Amino acid sequence: MTVAFVATRLSGDPTYHILPPDTPEVQRQVLREQLGHDRPVMAQYGDYPAGLARGDFGRSFFSGRPVAEMYLERLPATINLTLPALLLSV
């Protein structure tokens, strides 16, 4: 959990990945507030496990969709790939 949290924070300001390069700083600040990145890092880290415990994996920076929804969409394909591999390995 800590590694995932730190990795996302080390990847830089998400507004530079989401918004076009010529976006005004005011709009970037609004997005930071919406994402919660304007809060202290320790407060963000405290919210992270609480969200995970509720099943809230956050929203994708790129699509804006809930991450849990994206995981569930891909779960059947993941099972179709891993189950035969597991059976072959056993």
What per-residue confidence (pLDDT) applies to 74?
A: 95
Reported as a pLDDT band with limits 50, 70 and 90, residue 28 is: very high
Model confidence pLDDT, tens digit, residues 74-83: 999 999 999 9
Between 55 and 76, name the one with better pLDDT: 76
> Containing domain of residue 16, as a range?
2-89
3-state secondary structure the chain: CHHHHHHHHHCCCCHHHHCCCCCCHHHHHHHHHHHCCCCCHHHHHHHHHHHHHCCCCCECCCCCCEHHHHHHHHHHHHHHHHHHHHHHHC
Number of domains in the chain: 1
In this prediction, residue 14 has a pLDDT band, given cuts at 50, 70 and 90, of confident
